[in-house]
Structure 1
């Protein structure tokens, strides 16, 4: 198995050896799309800006050195991240200026930077800690935003459009919050298990969130009460489903199309007619 490093952690090469929360989530959405993405045969159409904003904020709270390294880094071999943050030069603005998304990101940073609870809980931790372990019979990987082993907890930092926005849970036919909607309870359960296996320490998870609003909102969330049972249910779900995903990756099982996603639309072929009354609606 490949040894994980900060340089190769996010590479598809290591995904063949280690399952991760993001890869597992891809498979739950559409098996065919997840495999195509893993094989680098297809990439979803998406704006790079949200990822840039997220990495800009994360690196700031990692360390001054990590933040500077991220600004100077070129992900594509062309422009540096710092250059991507700037508008295109014009006659009246030959140097360009900071794009609106990153002006807002600076406000989000200040919102957290000025918060006493965030500074007391999140900042003392070791940042971007790679953890590995087994869930069921398979290897998993994770990267912890802030790990405070000596006090037995870890933190994840999340950027969100609106902390209080409601999200429709089609499976349970009810409205829910962004943490449940994005599967962050499962992510916390995975990280808790991998930390335990990596350091023989049982740590409690926390989430800090900051919104992309003006001014930004912020929140701090624990996983107490009924959430403990939901975390165990998430681990049980993984154990039940992951074998199929690994078999898809090894070619033993053919992946299923979800029938709705971008990859399906791209590769879709009509095979017959459908009754008007049978059209699925969301």
Structure 2
């Protein structure tokens, strides 16, 4: 029985290695044409780097690779992501919003009970409706965000490596684009960032996202566009605000972001193609789940 189990594990490992080798070969071939249907697929992520994938590798290479190979899935709740997508889909189009509701009805609606046979919208998405109403009622948001083309796919190269992006609202004729963010609290102080301004934009590297999107829009359409972020909070009542990237601190941060991408991405691609082993952070959910002890650590050397 033990021998059969070992043989099965070897077979699974070989299958995973073969899959990685096959996908690595795809990277060097003609890249797939991106569409709304395949944009978020793992296949396109093996050919195009994205901001979310880059940030995953920054946090923990082992976790990012396991997710990319579909060997592991995080057990954390998907509700925060769904709340953001719920709000985004509303401002994309009525059809997109209705399609999103139909596709995610199980997560959006409570389970039927005797007193509530049809179920009802979960509290998180009632809050999302309040966020939508807050933005809808704001003239500045409607003036800048509403006219743009929604969910526009852009591609390009950064230092010879393919990248992809999806723009929430693109207004090419006026030279700007908007990104919509849902956050817990716009004014909350963040401690996970080493920049001088510890707010949600720099903590979540939205400045890096804006720098990448600006470059990809320029390569795709030949137009240099200013980035704007509209943020709405999950508080009751929701807060909301609009942000630009025109100060010297913002400009330097975006320049540093592109430099960081150029510095780190060659290593990340080598991890993806199996040329080098991924580095584990040792602290994330994936590392905790797969951790095995091999030695003692001095009590005075515990990482915090």
TM beyond 0.5: yes
Task: Determine the structure 1 residue equivalent to 2:156.
Answer: 133
Kindly indicate which of the two structures has a greater share of residues assigned to helix. Answer: 2
Task: Determine the structure 1 residue equivalent to 2:207.
Answer: 185
Q: What pairs with 1:269-280 in structure 2 (closer than 5 Å)?
A: 269-280=292-303
TM-superposed CA distance for 1:175, in Å, is 6.3
Instruction: Give the alignment partner of residue 246 of structure 1, picking from 254, 259, 269.
Output: 269
TM-superposed CA distance for 1:254, in Å, is 0.8
Task: Provide runs of 4+ in structure 1 moved above 4 Å.
Answer: none
TM-superposed CA distance for 1:72, in Å, is 2.2
- 1:51-101 deviation per Cα after TM superposition (whole angstroms, max 9, x unaligned): 22111111100011211222222xxxxxxx234311111111111111111
Instruction: Give the alignment partner of residue 39 of structure 1, picking from 55, 69, 73.
Output: 69
Aligned pairs, how many? 273
Distance in 2 between the 1:27 and 1:55 partners?
A: 23
Q: What secondary structure sits across from 1:215 in the alignment?
A: coil
Q: What pairs with 1:80-95 in structure 2 (closer than 5 Å)?
A: 81-95=104-118
Question: Structure 2 unaligned runs (5+)?
Answer: 1-30
Distance in 2 between the 1:159 and 1:277 partners?
A: 40
- 1:21-71 deviation per Cα after TM superposition (whole angstroms, max 9, x unaligned): 000000000011111110000111211211221111111000112112222
TM-superposed CA distance for 1:170, in Å, is 5.2
**TM-score, reference length from structure 1:** 0.94
Q: Tell me if structure 2 keeps the 8 A contact 1:168–1:175.
A: no
Distance in 1 between the 2:128 and 2:197 partners?
A: 28
Question: Structure 1 unaligned runs (5+)?
Answer: 74-80
Q: What secondary structure sits across from 1:105 in the alignment?
A: helix
- Does residue 1:216 correspond to 2:246, yes or no? no
Task: Determine the structure 1 residue equivalent to 2:120.
Answer: 97
Task: Determine the structure 2 residue equivalent to 1:205.
Answer: 227
Q: Tell me if structure 2 keeps the 8 A contact 1:126–1:148.
A: yes
Q: Tell me if structure 2 keeps the 8 A contact 1:86–1:99.
A: yes
- Does residue 1:113 correspond to 2:136, yes or no? yes
Which is higher, the Rg of structure 1 or of structure 2? 2
- 1:152-187 deviation per Cα after TM superposition (whole angstroms, max 9, x unaligned): 000000000000000014545x66100000000000
- Does residue 1:53 correspond to 2:83, yes or no? yes
Task: Determine the structure 1 residue equivalent to 2:47.
Answer: 17
RMSD of aligned Cα (Å): 1.1
